[in-house]
Amino acid sequence: MAYQTRKVKYCHITVPSRPGTGTNILDEIRDAGVNLLAFTGFPVGGRKAQVDLVTDDIRGVQKVARANDWRLSKVKKGFLVTGADEIGVVDKVLTRLADQDINVTAVDAVTAGKGRFGMILWVHPAKYNKAARTLNAK
């Protein structure tokens, strides 16, 4: 089973849920030269959406946010898992956590093509260090 787990930082913004909002955010981040490791969005009710910005340049995201009057959350932590797309690999990662009594708050996993997969996952902050050890996160 060949996969690597990386500690990542992210923040989120709550935005109106309407066409073009995500592309406007991505345009500003791209134009500032900030690389995103993951980008995910989902509805939170009241015609609003939460957009998570996962990056290894959190200060760059904060700078873009200030320039655009975005109200960012505090910086949070998660894990980015990447590797060979094998049958059951996501289950193996999640089972390792479950076996250590670590509940996964949220997870998104996708095939990346050419035999690769990627997964972003979040755990409760109180379990973050234990999860990092369990997954051998760097």
Q: What are the backbone dihedrals phi and psi of residue 115, each rounded to the nearest 5 degrees, phi first?
A: 75, 20
Q: Is residue 4 part of a domain?
A: no
119, containing H or E segment = strand 116-123
Q: What is the pLDDT of residues 128-137, one digit of tens each?
A: 999 999 999 9
Structure tokens at 114: 């050419």
As a whole number, mean pLDDT of residues 84-109 equals 97
CA 137/CA 23 separation, integer angstroms: 31
| Residues spanned by the domain of 121 | 77-134
CATH of the domain at 115: 3.30.70.260
Q: State how many domains the chain has.
A: 2
Contact 73, 12 (CB under 8 A): yes
Quote the pTM value. Answer: 0.91
Residues 60 and 16 in one domain: yes
Residues 38 and 52 in one domain: yes
Of 31, 52, 75, which one is at a domain's C-terminal end? 75
Task: Return the beta strands (E) in 1-127 as ranges.
Answer: 3-16, 36-45, 48-55, 76-84, 104-113, 116-123
Residues 56 and 88 in one domain: no
CA 106/CA 135 separation, integer angstroms: 16
Q: Is residue 41 part of a domain?
A: yes
Listed in sequence order, the residues at least 6 apart from 59 whose beta carbon sits closer than 8 Å to its beta carbon are none
Residues 51 and 94 in one domain: no
Contact 55, 34 (CB under 8 A): yes
Q: What is the pLDDT of residues 18-72, one digit of tens each?
A: 999 999 999 999 999 999 999 999 999 999 999 999 999 999 999 999 999 999 9
Residues 27 and 70 in one domain: yes
CA 28/CA 25 separation, integer angstroms: 5
Examine the pLDDT at 1 and tell me if it is beyond 80.
no
Of 25, 45, 75, which one is at a domain's C-terminal end? 75
Contact 130, 137 (CB under 8 A): no
Residues 82 and 65 in one domain: no
